[in-house]
Amino acid sequence: MLSVEALKIRYGEVEAVRRVDLTVDSGEIIALVGANGAGKSSTLGAVAGLVPAASGKVIFDGADITGLTPEAIARKGVALVPEGRRIFASLTVADNLRLGGAVHQPAAEARLREEEMLELFPILRRYHRVKGGNLSGGEQQMLAIARALMGKPRMVLLDEPSLGLAPQLIDTVFDLIAELRRKGLTILLVEQNVALALEIADRAVVLANGEVVLSGTAKELASSDLVRQAYLGA
Amino acid sequence: MVAQQIINAVSLGGVYALLALGLAIVFSIVGLINFAHGELMTLSGYALLASLVLGLPFPVAVLVAVTCGALAAVAMERIAFRPMRGASVTSLLLTSFAVSSLLKVVFQNGISARPQAVAMPGWMTGAFSFGDFTIGVGPSISIVVSALALIALEVFLRRSVTGTAMRAAAEDFDVVRLMGIPASRIIATAFLLSGLLAGLAAMLWVAQRASVDPLMGFTPVLKAFIAAVVGGLGSLPGAVAGGFLLGIIEVLLQATLPATIAPYRDAIVLSGVIAVLLLRPQGLIPAVRVQRS
C-alpha cells in the first residue's frame, strides 16, 4: 500500500535521513523504532508531505506522492497524527473533529462520522464543547486520533502516541490501535517505546542515524540480540 | 456635547478596529504585517470616487468600492505575496513596503497627488436631535457599520468551516493542512476578509472627509497597526479592543486637552502605548500561537 524508496531528508547541512526503504501492506501495523534523532519522525513527515524529501520516492497505492502538498496527500487517504498531538487548543473538541472531516466527505456524512467517533471515544462526547487545550494529555491523544480518523483515511501514521502519557493511558491508546487495525486500517507507527511497539506490530523497521539497520517480523526483532541489547535493555 | 464626543470616539474606534482586525487576520495566518493595507483603503476610496463620477447610485458605488478593496487584497496576495511564501518575515515585510510604495506612486502619477473631492450624499452630514442632544448621522452610521461588520466576521469565524479552519491555522497551520484543507484557500480568504474590512473602513473614513488622496490610508493604518500591537499582535479580539481603545483615547484627549498641550496628543497616546507594552509585552489580549522550531 505504501512504499518508501531510498528516502533521504536534509535540514540544511544536516542529513536527518540517509536512506530509508520500507513497505507497508494493506491491513498491517508496521512499527518504525529507534533512538531519539534516528530519523523516525522525519520519515513520517516526508510521507505526509510536511518535510521535503531530498531524494527518493514515496509511493502510495501505486501513485508517486513525493513532493505533493500535505493537503493533497491527506485527500488521498493518508492521515498523520503528529508528535505531541498538536490539537487546536483554542477550538472545542467538536470543532477539532469537524475540521478533521471537513474536506473528505459531504457535511451529512461528516456528522455521521463524528457520531461514530463519539461512540468510539466516549470521553470526547463528554467534553464535546470543551476547548481542546483544557483536556488532559491522554484525552488530547484520543482527540488527535479521532480527528485524524474523521477523514476516513485508509492509512494512519502515528507519531509517538505514548509520549508523555501515564502507563494506564498508554495501554488504552495501544488497545485502541489494535482495535483500529481489526477494522481494516493500515498503520505506520513511530514509537520510542520499542517493547510496546513490537507487541502490537506485525513487522518492524529499526532506524539508527537515519538508516535502516534491521527489519523483520515483530517476533524476530523482539528476539534479536541487537534489539534486545540496544532497545529492550535485556 | 458629551454624547456627541462619545459617539465620535466610538465611531473613530470602530474604524481603527476594522483596520486593525484586517491586519491581525492576515498576520495570524501568514505572519505578515501588511504595510500595503493602507493602499487597499486608498484604492477603495478611489473606486468610490470613480463609481460616483460614472453616475452609479450611491449604495451601488459603495458596494463596488468595498468589492474592489477585497479583490485588490486577493490580487495582492496572488501577485506579490504568494511567490514569497516560506520566505523570512523580513522579506515579507519588505515586499509589503514595496507594494505600498508602488501603489502610492501609481495613485500619485495615474490620478493626482492632490485630494479629489468625493460627492457624499447630503444626508450623511446631517444630524439627529433628541431634545438637547445632537448626534451626527455620519458617526452614527459608522458605529452601526463597524458593529455589523464585527458581528458578521465573528459569525463567519465561529460557524463556517473555512472560518473555523482560519482560527485553527492561526494556531498551527501545518496541522490544518494535514486535515486536507488547502493552504491557499485559507490564505486567500484571510486576504479577502482583510480587503473587505479595509474597504468598509475606507467608506467610513471618506464619509467623514469627503475627499480621497494618495496618502489617505497611511495615517489610519499606522494607528490600526498600533492598535493591533497594543491588543496583542495576531489576536483578533485584541485588535478590536486596541482599535476602540485608541479611538476613544484620541477623541478624549482631543476634547479635554488645553489648546497649548493639544499638539502633543499623538506623543501622549504613543507614550501610553509604550507603557502598555512595558506592562504587557504580549498585548492586552495575547494571541494563542503554538511556538515551533
Cα-Cα-Cα-Cα dihedral of B154, B158, A92, A88, to 10°? -80
- Among B177, B181, B290, whose Cβ lies nearest the Cβ of A102? B181
Please name the residue of chain A whose CA is at the shortest distance from the CA of residue B290: A86
Residues 8-67 of A with CB under 8 A from B: 48-50
Contact A88 B171 (CB under 8 A): yes
Please name the residue of chain B whose CA is at the shortest distance from the CA of residue A72: B180
pLDDT along chain B (293 residues), means of 10: 84 94 93 93 97 95 97 96 88 93 95 90 80 81 92 93 94 94 94 97 92 94 93 90 93 88 87 88 79 43
User: Under an 8 Å CB criterion, which residues of B touch A?
Assistant: 161, 164-165, 167-168, 171-172, 174-183, 288, 290
Amino acid at A138: G
- Confidence band, pLDDT 50/70/90 cuts, at residue A233: low
Taking CB atoms and an 8 Å cut-off, how many pairs form between chains A and B?
74
Residues A6-12 have a mean pLDDT of: 92
- Among A80, A102, A104, whose Cβ lies nearest the Cβ of B178? A80
Specify the pLDDT at position B276. Answer: 87
Check pLDDT > 90 for residue A63. yes
Specify the pLDDT at position B292. Answer: 45
CA gap B151, A148 in Å, rounded: 32
CA gap B273, B261 in Å, rounded: 18
pLDDT-wise least confident of A77-91, A175-189, B45-59, B255-269: B255-269
- Among A71, A86, A88, whose Cβ lies nearest the Cβ of B180? A71
Residues A188-192 have a mean pLDDT of: 92
Chain B residues close to A74, C-beta within 8 Å: 177-180
Please name the residue of chain A whose CA is at the shortest distance from the CA of residue B288: A90
Specify the pLDDT at position B231. Answer: 92
pLDDT (tens digit per residue) in A44-60: 999 999 999 999 999 99
Amino acid at B222: L
Specify the pLDDT at position A29. Answer: 95
Residue with cell 465561529: B158
Please name the residue of chain B whose CA is at the shortest distance from the CA of residue A96: B168
Specify the pLDDT at position B12. Answer: 93
- Whether residue A134 lies within 8 A of chain B, CB to CB, comes out as no
Specify the pLDDT at position A231. Answer: 74
Specify the pLDDT at position B56. Answer: 95
> So where are chain A's domains?
1-77+155-234, 86-153
In a 3-state reduction of DSSP, which class is residue A50? coil
Check pLDDT > 90 for residue A153. yes
Q: In 3D, which of A136, A184, A95, A222 has the Cα closest to residue B158?
A: A95
Secondary structure letter of residue A93 according to DSSP: H
Say if CB A1 and CB A173 are below 8 A apart.
Answer: no
Chain A residues close to B167, C-beta within 8 Å: 88, 90-91, 95
Return the number of other C-beta atoms located less than 10 Å from residue B41's C-beta: 31
Q: Which three cell numbers stand for residue B120?
A: 457624499
Residue B159 Cα, gap to closest chain A Cα (Å): 9
Secondary structure letter of residue B1 according to DSSP: -
Residue A135 Cα, gap to closest chain B Cα (Å): 16
Secondary structure letter of residue A131 according to DSSP: B
Secondary structure letter of residue B81 according to DSSP: I
Specify the pLDDT at position B121. Answer: 86
The complex's ipTM works out to 0.92
Say if CB A210 and CB A16 are below 8 A apart.
Answer: yes
CATH T-level topology, domain A1-77+155-234: Rossmann fold (3.40.50)
